[in-house]
Structure 1
Amino acid sequence: MAEMDQNTGGEHEAEETIEIEAEVHGGEEAVVAEKKWPGWPGESVFRMLVPAQKVGGIIGRKGEFIKKIVEETRARVKILDGPPGTVQRAVMISAKEEPGSSVPPAVDGLLRIHKRIIDGLESDFTHAPSGVAGKVSTKLLVPASQAGSLIGKQGGTVKSIQEASNCIVRVLGAEDLPIFALQDDRVVEVVGDPAGVHKALELIASHLRKFLVDRGVIPIFEMNMQTANPHHAEHMPPHQSWGPSQGLPPNVGGGPGFGPPSQYMPPPRQLDSYYPSAEMPPPVDRQPHQGISAYGRDASIGVHASSNTQSAPSIVTQITQQMQIPLSYADAVIGTAGASISYIRRASGATVTIQEARGVPGEMTVEISGTASQVQTAQQLIQNFMAEAAAAAAAPAQPQTTVPAADQGYNSYPAHGSVYASPPSNPGHAGGYGSVYGANYGY
């Protein structure tokens, strides 16, 4: 009890490690351990930067090409907002991960769209001046933690991709981010001949597919990329979205996936968390504590390892906020043997502690520290667990025929008036579970 780690949940990481048994060889299926996280296995998300003049080619005449990709790959495709006059747009491709598939839907969709762009660029070469033709550039927008993983230890991963594709692969500095990028984003650029760039993109996507998100995270990319530059928001062009009709709620109007996302998507859940697979490095709380990114990995580790890489990302500002929660939700937030609180810590990357709410009978204080995105993620995950508990209490007699709330995709969770975020609290103040809950919660 005395050795309890109150800050990072490190005591639970070993027992709750998610294990996905290794690689699939030939026709063998991946063997997955019994313990799974909510929404397992999660969604793969790729954001590719595309020249604005090529967006029409991706969509095709009357949307025929994009609809074909959606139908054949089962991936969702969304062309994200960009400020007026921008020279590039972000195309987001997402789909549920299939661990046993060598080319899962999101990777398949990404490669097909890229092939369409490359084919268009190659046709442009016929009109290009001598000496200019032959080289193309492809850019992906990725979280800084993923960029660091892509480089690998001492640049080993990116070096192998460069050698296999005969292309230059580099992570650009923060100064090269497009105006609509998120704070933790980095641009991965691939330069080479068209076939080589396509091969490099395939290798990059195969590496990054292990960074999975909760399905509720997907709308947050769109919302954050718009609100990151509020002075442009009033002049943003409308979204263009396509997705499999079976993946959307039944109230969709006007055909599958067309029009602004507000037609078929409730307010997005404020999630920003990535779920690591077993082959990823140890949890953040067991790594040197430098700057933790919004995706649960250290954003500053390894990002400078490649000779092609520019300056490493700066450490993101840490904040601390508090939530007041009724004690009746203690079981939901902490979980059996601390399973829920450990999951919240791991998924958000934030430091989460629970303390007795002094002077407020019947409530407890949850203190959350991390980057703004990490704190926001942890707050939403806490609200999600509370919403599930409230729904279960309201209808205890109903048979469980619906999909569990943690895997309902775009469905939102009701807000709780008793939950609120306070201004930053005194950093360094640490509380524990023992003084409030005793041995009943396994601490």
Structure 2
Amino acid sequence: MESTKVQSEGGLNVTLTIRLLMHGKEVGSIIGKKGETVKKMREESGARINISEGNCPERIVTITGPTDTIFKAFAMIAYKFEEDIINSMSNSPATSKPPVTLRLVVPASQCGSLIGKGGSKIKEMRESTGAQVQVAGDMLPNSTERAVTISGTPEAIIQCVKQICVVMLESPPKGATIPYRPKPASNPVIFSGGQAYTIQGQYAIPHPDQLTKLHQLAMQQTPFTPLGQTTPAFPGLDAAPPASTHELTIPNDLIGCIIGRQGTKINEIRQMSGAQIKIANAMEGSSERQITITGTPANISLAQYLINARLTSEVTGMGSL
């Protein structure tokens, strides 16, 4: 009777592997105390769930199995993240519940099919599931994979993952894929109060309460040296890091939320990050604008984080951040 089951699933009941990129804290939540949560997820979904080695700010969670088991595993992860959000909100004044966000790692050769001609496929996914879907413009470091970020309610995310699986099955990766492997946290950009900030993918993601520390660090162009002490207070910051430049492209329709009324938001981001930020003029026939960020790694990290936060709040309709 196996063949009829495959038919009823629309030919979808094949084995597939989906890779997720998670921060350490998220992985901890999925593993649970003494590994109980992940054990339960494996048992109840029937999918194989593997988690990459620790000691990295980011970890890869690999989910393998027939598509129906993958969807069950995804549902359990999405609901667990929602539970974490609700728990974290119980002691915060925020009223609107932020969306659940998952990041998939997809071979770049399949991203074109996910986006579709002129963005038609990704638009269809957003409209039919209600989830926000974004495909990163750049490949993840030292790989041929890109991050695909999905955010929304757990239900929307599950529907969206189903559609992504269909696309991935219909358009297998072309050529060899160099998988993304998160780097161990051996070279933090900055060390402050024992907290390491590392560039993760395109963004430096500090915890929200670490933003103020990062801000203070970004403001200090020279390492802070207490009187009578010649060694810098921050390990690894023997000298002020040289200025470097980072470029981002932002869709035209979202540039307004970064600039703000009469440039208020962009000036705020410049002041908070200490970075120089230049926004190129709109190019004829282009739907994107180039943003150039110049400063120390700390300045750039913070500017990127703030720009990303503005975009996220705009896209998810969370209002002003």
TM-score (norm 2): 0.47
Higher strand share: 2
| Structure whose CA Rg is larger | 1
TM-score (norm 1): 0.36
Higher helix share: 2
